[in-house]
Amino acid sequence: MENLLKYGHILGLSIWLGSMVMWAMFAPKLYKIDPTRNTTNVLRKTFSNLSWGSYALSFLTGVGLFFSVDNPMSSWGRELSVLAFAGLLIGLHSFASNLSSGIRGMLNGFMLVSALIVVYLATIYI
């Protein structure tokens, strides 16, 4: 059971981080070539659904791992805390649309760093 949880957790984290990086790379280019933003808004919704779904998978499997692993050297508690913090940042970035572009850019940086920390902590003892 623990191996299935780890597999689901790493799969969710990989899709979550990949969708964040992919959107960060493509969004500025889409804004330039799609002045009406119709295509961009459809893609944003798709990436948002993919990202939140993979985040939910990661969080739920992380909770399962936190309660199922008895190793005192385990970092699942720290990893789950950083994952929850990253979720709060992403929620703030996604749903608070009236933030300035500077604050949104700062949140993008914090989201990427926290996602990388989560992946590092998740893979440290696997």
**pLDDT at residue 69, as a whole number:** 77
- Looking at residue 99, the DSSP 8-state letter turns out to be S
In the chain the first and final C-alpha atoms are separated, in Å, by 14
Residue count (the chain): 126
| Mean pLDDT score across all residues of the chain | 84
Tell whether the model's pLDDT for residue 72 goes beyond 70: no
Greater pLDDT, 45 or 31? 45
User: How would residue 48 be classed by pLDDT, with cut points 50, 70 and 90?
Assistant: confident
pLDDT tens sequence across 74-106: 677 888 888 898 888 888 877 777 878 788 788
**Average pLDDT value for residue range 57-73:** 83
**pLDDT at residue 54, as a whole number:** 93
